[in-house]
């Protein structure tokens, strides 16, 4: 959520920024129009209350006349008539404010689609194979590590069973990622997998991502990332500046309907409805330069994981059209997939300034005693099974076996995955 003063003072600039995100800028005009109405009604209510209070004060110490009683009733009736109007308009105003996107940072490329994203860094050499590399699904099925056919029969499209050593490898990479973040001062947390609408609206996944989330019969929503629970953790609380930055790392299952991805990545387990993820969330002070420094630091943890795994990747600065409505600046990390002969997204790193904290009412008391909204950031550390797919494809051997990355061997207890006996 943006500050209404900012919206009123930067109307045209904000409308252009929203259009740059390929969203409808008319929401700005609607907010300003309803805010004008809200302010007029609020002024009327305040003036009526002041008159009513003054009238009450003049007759408090004596018995009022019939005329004075009538005047008092008139004030009361007028307030009863106008206060419901104010409440209705304030409700409309709040709903509209939730629909105003966050403008992108000044260095974000303006573009109409993903082709306008900018590669800002490339790491690692593309592996050369003396054979045609296979895709992760073919490799895993041949080794008895994956079963999608039976999964689809019982759970529908994009379902999967991981089996045997691949299960152990998944736990290994998640544990490795979690331990790395703990060693860097992040508080490890499991999180609620089901949250209320306040958390979804507060983090900015609603209204724009409502169709992509599963709901329960009790009205809760299944999270698509631990970001939701962690960012909302201090909802309606006031922190202290000395405790910032607040660094949390969550591990959780994630659930996504993948609306709009029909026909894309249907093979294997690259794009699925259910997966595991280690996610970092940080609160900083209300300073964009401080936040940008943290943004780069958080990106560094994703890069460190891929470098430790020796998986080539590149980093993209996302253009305006390929960002979420709430994101101010976003990096995507795309890892190399030899079987697909392409870089594919494995990590996403974003900051929001106070867009989420205003919606969630998370503040901190600054050193000078003033209250400010925290700035929020989030980034993937490891998302499985997508990171598994990258490992499998990059470490495949000509005989179809898979070498375990050196840093994970202690977790897995093996150096190589060969054909295994399977149920």
CB 351 within 8 A of CB 377: yes
Annotated active-site residue 386? The verdict is yes
Tokens of 302: 């994703």
Distance of CA 94 to the CA centre of its chain: 21
Compute and round to an integer the Cα radius of gyration of the chain.
27
CB 166 within 8 A of CB 148: no
Nearest by Cα to 389 from 138, 114, 164, 128 = 138
CB 359 within 8 A of CB 3: no
Annotated active-site residue 384? The verdict is no
Write down the catalytic residue from 345, 365, 401, 409: 345
Distance CA 269, CA 158 (A): 7
* Residues contacting residue 296 through CB under 8 Å, at least 6 positions apart: none
Distance CA 376, CA 353 (A): 6
In the beta sheet, which residues pair with residue 240? 365
Write down the catalytic residue from 38, 158, 256, 358: 256
Distance CA 158, CA 110 (A): 33
Distance CA 275, CA 292 (A): 29
Which segments within 75-132 are labelled E, that is strand?
A: 118-123
Distance CA 85, CA 88 (A): 5
DSSP result, 282-299: EEE-S-HHHHHHHHHHHH
CB 221 within 8 A of CB 200: yes
Distance CA 388, CA 78 (A): 66
Write down the catalytic residue from 229, 335, 348, 350: 348
Write down the catalytic residue from 257, 271, 344, 409: 271
CB 46 within 8 A of CB 53: no
Distance CA 149, CA 262 (A): 18
What single DSSP character describes residue 305?
H
Which residue carries 């998302």 as its tokens? 383
CB 139 within 8 A of CB 132: no
Annotated active-site residue 49? The verdict is no
Distance CA 227, CA 170 (A): 20
Annotated active-site residue 153? The verdict is no
Annotated active-site residue 170? The verdict is no
Q: Which residues are catalytic?
A: 256, 271, 345, 348, 386
């Amino acid at each position: 959520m943006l500050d209404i003063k900012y919206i009123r003072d930067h109307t045209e600039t904000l409308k252009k920024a929203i259009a740059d995100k390929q969203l409808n800028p008319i929401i700005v005009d609607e907010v300003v129009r309803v805010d004008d109405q809200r302010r007029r009604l609020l002024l009327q209510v305040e003036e009526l209350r002041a008159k009513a209070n003054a009238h009450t004060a003049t007759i408090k110490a004596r018995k009022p006349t019939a005329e004075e009683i009538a005047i008092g009733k008139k004030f009361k009736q007028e307030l009863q008539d106008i206060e419901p109007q104010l409440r209705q308009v304030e409700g409309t105003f709040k709903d509209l404010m939730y629909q105003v996107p966050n403008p992108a940072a000044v260095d974000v490329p303006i573009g109409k689609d993903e082709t306008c994203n900018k590669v800002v860094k490339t790491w690692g050499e593309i592996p050369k194979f003396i054979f045609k590399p296979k895709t992760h699904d073919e490799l895993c099925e041949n080794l008895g590590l994956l079963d999608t056919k039976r999964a689809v029969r019982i759970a529908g499209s994009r379902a999967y069973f991981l089996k045997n050593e691949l299960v152990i490898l998944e736990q290994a990479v998640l544990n490795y990622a979690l331990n790395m973040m703990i060693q860097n001062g992040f508080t490890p947390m499991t999180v609620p997998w089901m949250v209320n609408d306040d958390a979804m609206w507060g983090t900015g996944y609603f209204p724009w991502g409502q169709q992509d989330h599963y709901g329960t019969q009790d009205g809760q929503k299944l999270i698509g990332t631990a970001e939701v629970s962690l960012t909302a953790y201090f909802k309606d609380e006031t922190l202290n500046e000395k405790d910032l930055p607040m660094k949390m790392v969550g591990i959780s299952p994630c659930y996504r309907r993948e609306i709009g991805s029909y026909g894309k990545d249907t093979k294997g387990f690259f794009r699925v409805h259910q997966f595991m993820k280690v996610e970092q969330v940080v609160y900083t002070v209300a300073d964009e330069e401080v936040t940008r420094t943290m943004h780069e630091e958080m990106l560094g943890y994703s890069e460190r994981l891929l470098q430790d795994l020796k998986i080539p990747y590149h980093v993209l600065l996302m253009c305006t059209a390929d960002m979420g409505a709430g994101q101010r600046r976003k990096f995507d990390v795309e890892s190399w997939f030899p079987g697909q002969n392409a870089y594919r997204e494995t990590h996403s790193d974003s900051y929001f300034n106070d867009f989420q904290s205003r919606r969630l009412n998370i503040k901190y008391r600054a050193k000078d005693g003033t209250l400010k909204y925290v700035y929020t950031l989030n980034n993937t550390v490891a998302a499985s099974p997508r990171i598994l797919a990258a490992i499998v494809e990059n470490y495949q051997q000509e005989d179809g076996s898979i070498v375990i990355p050196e840093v994970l061997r202690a977790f897995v207890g093996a150096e190589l995955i060969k054909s295994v006996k399977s149920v």
